[in-house]
Amino acid sequence: MHVRILSALVCALLMTMPAGAQVNNVKKVFVIVMENHNWSQFRGAANAPYINNTLLPQASHAEQYYNPPSLHPSLPNYLWLEAGTNFGILNDSDPSINHQSTTAHLVTQLKNAGVSWKTYQEDISGTNCPLTSVNKYAPKHNPFVYFDDVTNTNDPNSAYCIAHVRPFTEMAADLQNNTVAQYVFITPNLCDDGHDSCAPVSDPIRQTDNWLAANVPAILNSTAYQTGGALFITWDEGVGGDGPIGMIVLSPYAKGGGYSNSIHYTHGSLLRTVEEIFGVSLLGDAAVQTDLSDLFSNPGPPAAPASLSAIPGDSSVALSWATSTGANSYNVKRSLTTGGPYGPVTSVTTTNFTDTGLTNGTTYYYVVTASNASGESGNSPETSATPNVAPPPAPTNLTATAGNMQVALNWTAAAGAVSYQVNRGTTNGGPYGTVVASGLTATSVTDNTVVNGTTYYYVVVAVNSGGVSPNSNQASATPAAAPNPVLEVNAGGGAVGGFAADSGFSGGQTGSTTASIDLSGAIYPAPQAVYQTWRTGIKKSPNFSYTLSGLAAGSAYSLRLHFAENSVSRSGARKFDVTVNGVKVLSAFDVFAAAGGKNKAVIKGFTTTANAGGQIVVSFTAVTAAQDPIINGIEVDY
């Protein structure tokens, strides 16, 4: 019992493709199937000069490759190459009789895995799905047309079948254009595959050899083959028994040089090899046969990775390195001392890794090795990094609100910040050379070191042990003394707060809104209600004025005009001039543009002198034809 179990384990190990075998690097597979000859009829035969003098010296080949035991005639062997079984079929009947509903066959596995496939068949037209014989084409040598999921159940117009079962004459262009599929199955016609004796050669062995000599070079010279291809040439069945039949392997990854072995193989071996190359599950007989990996070379351990780099982060180091040819995995190693010794950190199949959970401020030294089944490379060059807390991001939403000899600042916290520093300048866009405050743990501060009438520009930075963030958005403000009003008029509205009901006007009409007015951009704004009423021109008489009386003749006053655009929704729609005692103080003024939008308060201030009658006359003159001047409130201050 124990002997049988051990024997089974050994067989399983022998059948499994070695992880380091170069066959793992194959990217495209070509299979050519010839007909009805034993290997002894070709090996050393004078009438097969191309096989013996050209192919075998550069190829690997098997001396003990057989069709499955007692499996004849042709069709059962082709089905075996595709599905690892003959489904009990022991004849060469057409798909109309022998079609199969199963999806458990190679090309459907490949399709489901995203691997492209195509078969090139000699003597078909390519205009239909070839379910019956035509010229020297025979369906019995084309296993794919026996599966319902390929032919849509024997539909000669199946688009899927027509797209994947193509005339052999198309292969040359596909090779030239490097558009061949990843899995290519090639069937010559009944003359060229050696099934029939055909004039003028009338020698099936010579016919086979001539066809290979004419067509194999195109495959071997193609980009698809030279950049990771493998060509398998075999025969469907032996004559007078099960073989041995030929199995010739050509590939940049094959041992080549005339290498041969005497390992027992069957068609299940070829199927298994193809399935292992493309990473799909093993079907039928493939699961119990030995793959063909011995015919491929073993590359040895890979070279040490190059270009190892390390980027420190917060309690982490991000590593990356160059690909090492032939590597299946990489081993990351670390030390606290330059030069090692290096302890293992992890093994990965990618060329990058982030080492986390590290101690900030500690320097770590790294090397990486590459591995495959043949062994492990030496160390890469050492690199090092010292993880640290990352600087915080910039604070956001900084606002500045002016007051009398002060500016109040507020902002949104930055993640990871320990403190904040507020910087100030007097030029838009910086520099911000004055430190207003540092070491702040709150997200607000008041700058009391300002002068009324000067515009200040502020930014905030966040600070932690990793450094200083970029600047926040800029915010500006112009501090000013609180107004000391002498006279306030609510243009177009009733009394509200200190503002008297509308009076002193000449011309115009009134309007109002219930929309909320944004006062945030105004310094010492009037009550909200003042901005919700207004005086404007009349269509045929767009201009109007206000006479503000009862002032001291010849005295200087501060005049503040309160505006909000309550009607139009774009800049340029309403423009007008404003004069004060005959002097133009605003030219083509656009409330929408000045306030930065609709329903936003904006205040314009001027210094003026009362005339001899103790009056200030404010006149509004239309510039745009469609929209007349507008005013919401007038304020006269000492």
482 or 602, higher pLDDT: 602
Confidence of residue 309 (pLDDT cuts 50, 70, 90): very high
- For residues 135-155, average pLDDT: 98
Nearest in space to 167 (alpha carbons), one of 118, 116, 233: 118
Asked if pLDDT for residue 11 goes beyond 80, the answer is no
Measured distance CA(408)–CA(509) in Å, rounded: 39
Measured distance CA(273)–CA(267) in Å, rounded: 10
Torsion of CA 51, 54, 56, 58, to 10 degrees: -150
The predicted model scores a pTM of 0.53
- For residues 372-400, average pLDDT: 93
Asked if pLDDT for residue 288 goes beyond 80, the answer is yes
The count of residues in the chain is 638
The pLDDT value recorded for residue 298 is: 77
Residues 82-119 have pLDDT tens digits of 999 999 999 999 999 999 999 999 999 999 999 999 99
Asked if pLDDT for residue 481 goes beyond 90, the answer is no
Residue 4's Cβ-count burial label (10 Å; 0-12, 13-18, 19+) is: exposed
Q: At what angle do helices 74-83 and 267-278 cross, to 10 degrees?
A: 30
- For residues 360-379, average pLDDT: 93
| CA dihedral sign, ordered 7, 9, 14, 20 | negative
5-9, 25-29, 389-393, 410-414: range with lowest mean pLDDT: 5-9
* Secondary structure (3-state) at 557: strand
The pLDDT value recorded for residue 21 is: 58
408 or 19, higher pLDDT: 408
- For residues 412-434, average pLDDT: 96
Confidence of residue 486 (pLDDT cuts 50, 70, 90): very high
Confidence of residue 12 (pLDDT cuts 50, 70, 90): very low
- For residues 142-159, average pLDDT: 98
Asked if pLDDT for residue 1 goes beyond 70, the answer is no
Asked if pLDDT for residue 153 goes beyond 50, the answer is yes
214 or 299, higher pLDDT: 214
The pLDDT value recorded for residue 22 is: 67
- For residues 244-258, average pLDDT: 96
Asked if pLDDT for residue 386 goes beyond 60, the answer is yes
Measured distance CA(119)–CA(155) in Å, rounded: 18
Q: Which domains does the chain have, with CATH numbers?
A: 2-221+236-295 (3.40.720.10), 309-385 (2.60.40.10), 396-477 (2.60.40.10), 485-637 (2.60.120.430)
Confidence of residue 10 (pLDDT cuts 50, 70, 90): very low
Exposure string over 124-160, b if 16+ CB within 10 A, otherwise e: bebebbbbeeeebbbbbbbbbbbbbbbbeebeeebee
Asked if pLDDT for residue 381 goes beyond 60, the answer is yes
Asked if pLDDT for residue 24 goes beyond 50, the answer is yes
- For residues 4-30, average pLDDT: 56
Asked if pLDDT for residue 9 goes beyond 80, the answer is no
> How many percent of the chain have pLDDT more than 70?
96
All residues at 6 or more sequence positions from 36 whose CB lies less than 8 Å from its CB, including other chains:
74, 194, 195, 204, 235, 236, 237, 239
Name the DSSP class of 54: I
Task: List C-alpha distances in Å: 143 to 108, 129, 291, 531.
Answer: 13, 13, 21, 86
- For residues 301-330, average pLDDT: 93
Asked if pLDDT for residue 3 goes beyond 90, the answer is no
Measured distance CA(632)–CA(597) in Å, rounded: 16
Residues 215-245 have pLDDT tens digits of 999 999 999 999 989 999 999 999 999 999 9
Residue 274's CB is within 10 A of a number of other CB atoms, namely 26
**What token pair was written down for 379?**
């160390």
The pLDDT value recorded for residue 326 is: 79
Beta bridge partners of 371: 329, 376
